[in-house]
Structure 1
Amino acid sequence: MTASGLYAGLVSHARVKPRKHKLAYRVFMLLVDLDELPDLKLKTLGIGRFNLFGFDPKRFGDGSGRPLKAQIEATLAEAGIPAGGPVRMLAMPQILGRAFNPLTVYFCHAANGGLTAILYEVNNTYGERHSYLIPAPNAALVKQGCGKAFYVSPFMDMDLTYAFRILRPEERVLVAVDTSDADGLVLAASFSGERRELTDRELIRAWLTHPWMTLGVVAAIHIEALQIWLKGEKVRVRPKKPERFVTVAPAAKLAA
């Protein structure tokens, strides 16, 4: 039994204003304990190499190839957040060498095993990446919040806030993100999934259920953008990306 696992479930997006739009599609994600990464010796999963499924650490973090856990622990140390325990990341795997993760979630623990922070790593379709680090209580259900600092959707303003609701990955996982402006909710997005063991059999089973998942995610993003544009929504100008790779949410930004 490993901490790493597979979660199959549903991604949903519901835009509530200024024009309503909904989208839902099925995906599966891997929960990878970075300490277990060298021992994930599955026939169908390539670590840093091509296979039916893949996990390439260079596609995450700062892209330098420096071990991901070392990167995250350095970020935690700089922010004064206890580290030394497991770091577990929830992300979609590469399929036949292709992958796009709009959001990767890292669960960061102290040496005693308690959750201390969650790191949200965001990719946009312009090839840019940014992360939000938020201290977290050691609880099964975590609620957090921060201001938007990184351009993602061309149809969303920058003066927005995020509210995260996270059910830590056990038998189920939930990652819900509500995006709001000064007048209330703009977009509600979530992934909800159920755990399976991370084995070749379960990976193949998931692939047969979602054979073109990675292409589907990218296609869904662009189709959704086209539909929103056809509804009359204006494209926002893309600002420069933040100077710092990680935005650390201050305590005042934490959701109650």
Structure 2
Amino acid sequence: MSEQNEEVTTDSDPTGAAESAGLKLPGLFATKVGMTTVYTENGDSVPVTVLKVGDWRVTQVIKSADRGYSAIQIGSGIKKAKNASKAETKAFGAAGFESGAQKVGEIRVESDLEASVGQAVDIHSFTKGDKVKVTGKSKGCGFSGVVKRYKFAGGPASHGSHFHRQPGSSGNRTWPGRVLPGKRFPGQYGNKNITVRGLKVIEILPEESVILVKGSVPGAMNTLLRVEKI
């Protein structure tokens, strides 16, 4: 009976809160998978974006004495050997990327962290309930008119109107007699870096390496996003 009790006490942490050996950072990079709906304990429906973190490892430790700022450079995915340069092979080989990393990014830190090249990054850098900001490139819509780009109301659609989706007057009369800088016109819409702040972490699924964030984030599916604590 005593042997059985000893076996029970040697089981893993029943709460599942055992610390992993990964490096915890104030931010991570993740790929946008899509959106879905989850339900809270109260039965409320919450729209969430699924962010796939994946396997990220430290490729370089940047210290303030060398660059003037402190940061951790991390990488993910191994390039094909035919696409890797000698410089990439040398720079990322020590981190386990023999032919270079497919994705590389820097996460700024307030002070120099004790980290080693090749160390894994922990998905538990975030916890449930954290507020984060997500930065990524928005969907590109090409050359768009003012109705789509700036939500202009447009003109009447019928009754003899010839003013439908045009921008309208732009220079006025004698004064100013020119188009003022910053006037809203048709042009390139989207395909810009956008930051959405104040999003809440709803759940972290370490088995799938997934973070669920409340609300929508910039970009199309498979867009690489920067997720940082605020």
Q: TM-score, normalised by structure 1?
A: 0.25
Structure with higher RCO (Cα < 8 A, 6+ apart):
2
Q: Could you say which structure has the higher helix fraction?
A: 1
Q: TM-score, normalised by structure 2?
A: 0.27
Q: Which has the higher strand share?
A: 1
